[in-house]
Structure 1
């Protein structure tokens, strides 16, 4: 029996339809189709910009093979396949296009600052309007019931997770974040000790980090409860959450508004503190311990 190698992880966006279909079909592909699949996974942006003739020249396969590859993935032909690859990158390049459009208008510094603040206020307002109080209550109860809490968050989301972790610790609930520089291996090592009595809080917004999605998927498969915090129902985290909370986080000058996300995390922590009988005692213990290193109003 011929054994096929497993498809490489690649660099397609997290949750990509093309990536998922390649992973499912890869073991049954011929050598020529696997060669083409490897190129798609390793050079998806080039695929998005190249014609079929340019692609087959780069991969060394025939036009017929490229079309067979597309049909193997369930597309009518190569054009539909390439269109799906391009669509998968829309969320990644959209912030760049928004910024380019905004800069072309020649806004002043004052206009840019005020527009940014107004955008954050609008995000917060829309998040509050769409808030499901039942879900918030459920999220707080998940945190309260968890034996251990682990945050899956990378890049800017990692900094936000650190803030919430600090708030939860002040309320008497220990939470762990991914070690600085630890990456996937460090997170996997930590998660290997978690089960259905613990909780994973996964945070991801456009641009979604592949590592966050993959770790949340692993937690989901191990039946570890997952509280997903993301932007909408099309997010790759939405389907992985035991419970999912949505935050409006659109931003013109970057991919997301960290202000709105942080506000949601702070609000959750406040809800946890409100329902934690030992929150005041935990805060007092911290204050007593940290007092020697705190600056008082008198400067002492």
Structure 2
């Protein structure tokens, strides 16, 4: 992403280049729409400064910088454009519901066909042998991560996830105490939350195994995965099918439970202890 490149090289920029960098970061949509002459006039810098800035952040010229900026914005706005197209079609409520449910069935079928058995086995084995597990996910991924973490607590008492108002810095605290005997499970789908990718990358840099649950090899999370589970999760009305991802998570939990030697004993203990909290009909 352009913003990440700018922030990475920001300390090395000159004062005038930082002024232009701040302008780019404050309104990338406007930057993509206007010429270099309009951009420098509004930012209050020279054209020479803008050209030196784009070379400093890795582009051969301003035209290449602007083209990449437009491409990045196109990716970000793709779900919006797709939604506009879908909303323009005349469809009944039951038609929409039926299409979305069939879409999830197709997603699951395609995921079953595309993920090799050795990948499922590697994912289960990685979870089984982990001493501690930290599940990372933000936005809708946070809810999915919490479901996965709750399920894994049935086989491992040392499982944690990002909860409540905690954020990336909390993740750093967890990862700072982990090593190669532990496991980070990261969940990220379009649109990919940067904190998830950054925490997974941090884990790999510390030789901590990463199980990445994402959509394809093109995902920025894929480069961090020791094991990658690619889930087909297309969604007509929306960015991604959380239902499909949840189905894969629950299937993975089922395989982990089946492989755990004390699952039946643990389930019996939990059933006995949970009785006072269950309201019978």
Matched residues in 1 for 2:263 and 2:17: separation? 58
Instruction: Give the whole-Å Cα distance in 1 for the aligned partners of 2:184 and 2:26.
Output: 30
Partner of 2:152: 168
1-structure distance, mates of 2:201, 2:3: 15
- Regions of 4+ moved over 3 Å: 23-28, 171-174
CA distance in 2, matches of 1:271, 1:134: 13
1:136 match: 120
Q: 1:276 aligns with which of 257, 260, 274?
A: 260
Aligned to 1:288: 272
Length, aligned pairs only = 281
Q: CA deviation at 1:169?
A: 1.8
Q: Which residue of 1 aligns with 2:72?
A: 88
Q: Give deviations 1:51-71, integer Å, cap 9, x for gaps.
A: 322221222111222223223
1:84-115 Cα shifts (integer Å, max 9, x gaps): 11212333211111111111112221221111
Question: Could you tell me which of 249, 262, 286 is aligned with 2:246?
Answer: 262
1:74 lines up with 2:58 in the alignment? yes
SS of equivalent to 1:170? coil
Whole-Å Cα distance in 1 between the matches of residues 157 and 73 of structure 2? 38
Q: Which sits farther off after the overlay, 23-32 or 117-126?
A: 23-32
- Distance in 2 between residues matched to 1:143 and 1:203, nearest whole Å: 15
Q: Aligned runs of 1:229-268 on 2, under 5 Å?
A: 229-268=213-252
Partner of 1:119: 103
Q: What TM-score comes out, normalization by structure 1 length?
A: 0.88
Instruction: Give the aligned partner of residue 156 of structure 1.
Output: 140
2:210 aligns with one of 192, 210, 226: 226
Q: Does 1:194 align with 2:178?
A: yes
Asked if 1:32 is matched to 2:16, the reply is yes
Counterpart contact for 2:104–2:241, Cα < 8 Å: yes
Segments of 5+ residues of structure 1 without an aligned counterpart are 1-15
Q: Where does the alignment leave 5 or more consecutive residues of structure 2 unmatched?
A: none
Q: TM-score, normalised by structure 2?
A: 0.93
Aligned pairs for 1:21-60 within 5 A = 21-60=5-44
Per chain length, whose mean CA-contact separation is higher, i.e. which structure has more relative contact order (CA < 8 Å, sep 6+)?
1
Asked if residue 146 in structure 1 is aligned to residue 122 in structure 2, the reply is no
Deviation at 1:281, TM superposition (A): 1.4
Question: In the alignment, what sits opposite 1:10?
Answer: none
Question: 1:257 Cα shift?
Answer: 0.3
Deviation larger for 227-236 or 70-79? 70-79
